[in-house]
A and B are shown apart, each in its own frame.
Chain A
Amino acid sequence: MNKNIQLSLLILLTCFFTSIVSAEANTTCFKCHKKANFSGKVVHSPVAENKCSSCHNPHVARYKNLLSSEVSELCYQCHQDKIESFSKGIVHKPVKKGECLSCHAPHASSNKGLLNESAPGENCFKCHKTLLKKYDYTHQPYEKGDCGACHRAHQSERAQLLNDEPDKLCSKCHQENILQQKHQGFPGRLRVCLSCHNPHGSERKNLIRNVLHAPYKEGCSDCHEKGPVKTDKCLECHEEIMDQLLSAHNHLTDKAVNSCVKCHSPHAADSNSMLKNRQNQICRSCHANTFAGYDNTLHSHPDTGSCSDCHALHGSNNMAMLKGNGIEVCDSCHKTQGQFTHPVGGTVLDPRTGQQVTCVSCHYPHGTNFKFNLKLSGGKDLCIQCHKSY
Chain B
Amino acid sequence: MRKTHLTIIILSLFILVSGCFTSALAKDPWQWQFSLRGDQPNDDKTKPMLLPGNIFVDQELERYYVADAGNNRLLSFKREGIYLNAFSASNKLKTPTDIVREKDGLMWVIEKGRNSLTEIDLKEKKIENHSLQYRGVSVFPDRLFIDGENTYLLDKSSGDIILFDRKLKGIKHYGCPECTSGFIDFTVKSGNIWALARTEKAVYKFNTDGPQSEKIQLKGSLAFPFALEIGPAGLLYILDRHNGTIAVFDQTGSFKYNFLSKGHGRGELYYPEDLLFDPWGRLCVVDSGNGRVEIFSR
B182: contacting residue among A248, A254, A286, CB under 8 A: A254
Q: A167 contacts the other chain (Cβ, under 8 Å)? A: no
B297 within 8 A of A: no
B137 adjacent to A254 (CB under 8 Å): no
- A354 partner, pick from B37, B263, B271, beta carbons under 8 A: B37
Q: Quick one: which of A248, A289, A349, A385 contacts B51, CB cutoff 8 A?
A: A248
A375 touches B (CB below 8 Å): yes
Give chain B interface residues in 67-97, CB to chain A under 8 Å: 69-70, 94-95, 97
B265 near A385 (CB under 8 angstroms)? yes
| B181 contacts across to A, CB distance below 8 A | 253-255, 286
Shortest beta-carbon distance from B227 to chain A in Å: 14
Whole-angstrom distance between the alpha carbons of A256 and B180 in the complex? 9
The answer to whether the Cβ of B170 comes within 8 Å of any Cβ in the partner chain is: no
A361 on the B face (CB < 8 A): yes
Contact mask B170-182 → A, CB, 8 Å, 1/0?
0000011001111
- Verify B291–A355 contact, CB threshold 8 A: yes
Contact yes or no, B53 A248, CB < 8 A: yes
Known A354-B48, A355-B290; contact A248-B180, beta-carbon cutoff 8 A: no
Asked if B115 and A246 sit within 8 Å, CB to CB, the answer is yes
Residue of chain B at shortest CB distance from A326: B289
Roughly how many angstroms separate A249 CA and B157 CA in the complex, as a whole number?
Answer: 12
Q: A246 to B270: give the CA distance in the assembly, Å.
A: 23
* Residues 196-230 of A at the B interface (beta carbon under 8 Å): 230
Instruction: For the complex, give the distance between the alpha carbons of A307 and B160 in Å.
Output: 28
Is A248's CB under 8 angstroms from B242's CB?
A: no
Distance A289 CA – B240 CA, assembled complex (angstroms): 12
Distance A349 CA – B176 CA, assembled complex (angstroms)? 44
Asked whether A290 and B112 contact (CB < 8 A) given A248-B53, A319-B271, A353-B292, the answer is: no
* A247 and B198 within 8 A (CB): no
Flag if B138 contacts A255 (CB, 8 Å): no
Interface status of A119 (Cβ within 8 A of chain B) = no
What is the interface size of chain A, counting residues whose CB is below 8 A from a CB of the partner? 34
| A250-B156 contact given A230-B137, A289-B223, A317-B51, CB 8 Å threshold | yes
CA distance A290 to B240 in the complex (A): 13
Indicate if B283 sits at the interface (CB-CB under 8 A): no
User: B113 within 8 Å of A by Cβ?
Assistant: yes
What is the CA–CA distance of A246 and B95 in the complex, to the nearest angstrom?
9
Counting contact residues on chain B (CB < 8 A from A), the size range is 35 or more
Q: What string of 1s and 0s marks CB contacts (under 8 Å) between B132-148 and chain A?
A: 00000110100000000
B245 within 8 A of A: no
B158 to A257, Cβ gap below 8 A?
Answer: yes
A232/B137 contact (C-beta < 8 A), A248-B69, A255-B158, A385-B265 known: yes
Residue of A nearest to B114 (CB): A246
Q: Is A352 engaged at the interface, CB distance under 8 Å to the other chain?
A: yes
Interface pair B223/A248, CB less than 8 Å apart:
no
Check if A140 is an interface residue, CB within 8 A of chain B: no
Shortest distance in angstroms between A316's beta carbon and chain B's nearest beta carbon? 10
Let me know if A353 and B291 touch, CB within 8 A: yes
CA distance in complex: A88, B83 (Å):
50
CA distance A250 to B289 in the complex (A): 16
- Central interface residue in A255, A317, A385, by most chain B CB within 10 Å: A255
Q: Can you give 8 contacting A-B residue pairs, CB < 8 Å? A: A231-B157, A232-B138, A248-B53, A253-B181, A254-B156, A259-B157, A352-B266, A354-B48
What residues make up the interface of B, taking CB atoms closer than 8 Å to A?
Answer: 37-39, 48, 50-51, 53, 69-70, 94-95, 97, 112-115, 137-138, 140, 156-160, 175-176, 179-184, 198-199, 223-224, 242, 263-266, 270-271, 288-292
Closest 6 CB pairs of A and B: A254-B159, A255-B182, A254-B182, A255-B159, A248-B69, A353-B290
Q: Given A256-B157, A355-B291, list of 20 further CB < 8 A pairs?
A: A232-B137, A246-B113, A246-B114, A247-B95, A248-B95, A250-B112, A250-B156, A252-B140, A252-B156, A252-B157, A255-B176, A255-B182, A289-B224, A319-B271, A352-B265, A352-B266, A354-B37, A354-B291, A355-B50, A356-B48
Interface residues of A (CB under 8 A from B): 230-232, 245-250, 252-257, 259, 286, 289-290, 293, 317-320, 349-350, 352-356, 361, 375, 385
